[in-house]
Amino acid sequence: MEAMAYLVLARKYRPQTFDEVVGQEHVVRTLKNAIRLGRLAHALLFSGIRGVGKTTIARILAKAINCEQGPTDDPCNTCSACREITEGRAVDIQEIDAASNRGIDEIRELRENVKFRPARLRNKVYIIDEAHMLTREAFNALLKTLEEPPPHVHFILATTEPQKIPVTILSRCQRYEFRRLPWSRLVEHLQNICEKEGVPIEREALEIIAREAEGSVRDALSLLDQAISSGVQTRNELLDLFGLADNLLLEEIARAILARDLPKCFSVLQQAFEQGLDLVYFAQDLTEFFRNLLVLKNSSGRVILDLPESELAVLRTLSLEAETEELLLLFQILLSGLETVRRSPVPKLSLELALARACEVGKIVPLEELFAKIEELKKQAPLVGQGNGQPTLEEPPARETSDVSWKDFISRVREASPPLGALLETLDPPVEKDGRLLLRVPEGSILEEKTYREKLATLAHKHLGRNIEIEILSQAGSSPLRQKLIEKPIVQEALKILGGRVAQVKLYEKE
Ligand SMILES: [Zn+2]
């Protein structure tokens, strides 16, 4: 029953003209142009995931070059040529399914028949679906034909795996890459269809269908068909029907992971299990959730995720609760957990193990917070390492360049020489000693070279407003000051008290 319903929607709304195609604007534009200019290639390769319109566009193309009113980029769909093609009974348009057993025979026949003129139409069109499934023998036969295609013949190879097509074939095809439909376009498309069908399904439910379809129009329509035939109207009914994870559960378990609350993780998982969710999908959704957190954490405010605003808001809030390195580790653990869950005869136990591992990941504390805690601790009890001649963190290692701050100086150098400026940014601030600037550079730095040193000295003279000599101290190890900071007893002590390790060292300038 469901399969029937699926055919109904996908067929009913199959685009019959280029303008009806949803998405793939780049492909449609190029093809329409080629038709208008009479420069359509004889061999075309359509690649992209399933259900994004490859065969649909191939059929429209067949009509475009055979329409009695054409060739035209807008086939009439009423002439006998157009109608025969739409109804799949045009003898000159042949669709070959390379995945079927008949594939080889059909290619052989094709090689025989290709030289004859079309029986009824202006052009013969061979649409080879799943072209990557052709055997070597079939590819060879096809290659012979592609080497010298008769003027009245066009080949359209459609494939989900273009990398499996031999280079010899690829090089003779004009390539068109079909893209996944963006989530928001899919939602819009589904909503249009529901309106036309008079089906009252909540937008939130359609949003989930679009999410699950992952950019495939056909998959989305197939899910919509199932939803309609099951009488689903609300988001919750839809989640029930497909056994999908409710985002609330995902959010809850993600929060528990970020809080390293293992008992909570287990209880949410148990809940998902009792609701009958497919735990492999649940694990996958959870991994994607952390992947999205990571992306968002590093996108500095730009929205680069094609997700509903409500989901983005949740992700944004949660991404503030963890450091990048932490999210990266959690993502890694969940991803390898997901691989195990997929293969496991007891997915629930495997997922529990992954959750336990995730909860073991140490909290990463930003340095600002670490320093604040140290200050707090120092007020309570004196720390080892204080008062025995060790400088405390408040004291700068030595007097820094006065008048113009190091940061300002770098930005001026940047204006004069961007590469030099960028190079300075990687270094620790210099120390001024007896009218000389001591600048520590890693071994082998180009700053050791005379020309650069002189250039820097000239700039220093100009911007620091006095005669100043620059001394370059070459040192092994990229960042001595940073290393020194980490080795300080006070930092070591803090690590001991707070538990953890140093992920990153940031240098702050003293005002
Ligand atoms: Zn026509």
- Which CATH number belongs to the domain containing residue 481 in this structure? 3.30.300.180
CA of residue 40 to ligand 1 center, whole Å: 18
Cα 436 to chain centroid, rounded? 50
pLDDT > 70: percent of the chain: 82
Q: How far apart are CA 293 and CA 305, in angstroms?
A: 10
- Ligand 1 centre distance from Cα of residue 82 (Å): 4
* CA 59 / ligand 1 centre spacing (Å): 12
Cα 65 to averaged position of ligand 1 atoms, centre (Å): 9
pLDDT of 220 reads: 95
Could you tell me if 194 and 226 lie in one domain?
yes
Domain presence at residue 57: yes
Give the Å distance between the CA of 177 and the centre of ligand 1: 27
Integer Cα distance of 282 and 278 in angstroms: 6
Residues 197-216 have pLDDT tens digits of 999 999 989 988 988 888 89
Rounded to an integer, what is the distance from CA 355 to the centroid of its chain?
Answer: 24
Over range 232-247, report the average pLDDT: 83
Identify which has the larger pLDDT, 413 or 88.
88
432 and 451 both lie in a single domain: yes
* pTM of full prediction above 0.85: no
End residue of a domain, out of 177, 202, 232: 177
- pLDDT at position 510 is 46
Distance 38 CA to ligand 1 centre (A): 17
Lowest mean pLDDT among 2-6, 130-134, 331-335: 2-6
User: How many domains would you assign to the chain?
Assistant: 4
Residues 295 and 343 in one domain: yes
Question: How many angstroms separate the alpha carbon of residue 193 from the centre of ligand 1?
Answer: 26
pLDDT of residue 104: 72
CA 142 to ligand 1 centroid distance, Å:
29
Same domain, 106 and 168: yes
Task: Give DSSP secondary structure letters for 263-332.
Answer: HHHHHHHHHHHHTT--HHHHHHHHHHHHHHHHHHHTSTT---S---HHHHHHHHHHHTTS-HHHHHHHHH
Instruction: Answer whether residue 131 is part of any domain.
Output: yes
Residue 505 DSSP code: -
CATH of the domain at 197: 1.10.8.60
What is the extent of the structural domain holding 213?
183-242
Based on the domain organization, do 114 and 55 belong to the same domain? yes
**Domain end position, chosen among 201, 227, 242:** 242
Task: Assign 394 a pLDDT band (cuts: 50, 70, 90).
Answer: very low
The rounded Å distance from CA 188 to ligand 1 centre is 30
The SS3 call for residue 45 is strand
Same domain, 198 and 293: no
Q: How far, in Å, is the centroid of ligand 1 from the Cα of 73?
A: 11
23-25-28 Cα angle (round to 5):
115
141: part of which helix (H) or strand (E)? helix 136-147
Distance 69 CA to ligand 1 centre (A): 6
Q: Are residues 37 and 171 located together in one domain of the fold?
A: yes
CA–centroid distance, 68 to ligand 1, in Å, is 5
In a domain, 501, yes or no: no
Check whether residue 351 and residue 211 sit in a common domain: no
Q: Is residue 497 part of a domain?
A: no
> Out of 49-53, 383-387, 426-430, which region has the weakest mean confidence (pLDDT)?
383-387
Domain CATH code at residue 314: 1.20.272.10
| Ligand 1 center–CA 96 separation, angstroms | 23
121 CA → ligand 1 middle, Å: 11
Ligand 1 centroid – CA 11 distance (Å): 19
How far, CA to CA in Å, does 414 sit from each of 64, 417, 424, 440? 57, 5, 9, 19
Say if CB 490 and CB 386 are below 8 A apart.
yes
Residue 222 belongs to some domain of the structure = yes
pLDDT per position as a tens digit, 271-283: 888 877 889 989 9
Question: Per the domain annotation, does 104 fall within a domain?
Answer: yes
| pLDDT higher than 60, residue 477 | no
pLDDT mean over 227-247: 86
Nearest to 311 by CA among 226, 389, 248: 248
Say whether 43 sits in a helix, a strand or coil.
strand
Vertex 238: Cα angle to 234 and 242 (nearest 5): 175
Could you tell me the pLDDT band of residue 123, with boundaries at 50, 70 and 90?
very high
Are residues 146 and 41 both part of a single domain? yes
Ligand 1 centroid distance, CA of 83 (Å): 7
CA 262 / ligand 1 centre spacing (Å): 65
3-state secondary structure of 387: coil
Q: How far is CA 312 from each of CA 51, 61, 215, 293, 301, rounded to the nearest angstrom? A: 27, 39, 18, 9, 11
pLDDT tier at 486 (50, 70, 90 boundaries)? low
CATH number at residue 45: 3.40.50.300
**Three-state DSSP state, 328:** helix
Last residue of a domain, one of 129, 149, 177: 177
Cα 49 to ligand 1 centroid, rounded to whole Å: 29
CA of 66 from ligand 1 middle (Å) equals 7
Q: Is 237 domain-assigned?
A: yes
pLDDT of 386 above 50: no
Same domain, 82 and 169: yes
Could you tell me if residue 92 is inside a domain? yes
Q: Write the pLDDT tens digit of every residue in 8-34.
A: 788 899 999 999 999 999 999 999 999
Are residues 408 and 452 part of one domain? Answer: yes
* Statement to judge: residues 268 and 232 lie in one domain: no
Segment 97-125 shows an average pLDDT of 84
Condensed to tens digits (0 to 9), the pLDDT of residues 154-165 reads: 999 999 999 999
Q: How many angstroms does the Cα of residue 97 sit away from the middle of ligand 1?
A: 26
Cα of 442 vs centre of ligand 1, distance in Å, is 72
For residue 346, the cross-strand partners are none
Q: What distance in angstroms lies between residue 304's CA and the mean position of ligand 1's atoms?
A: 42
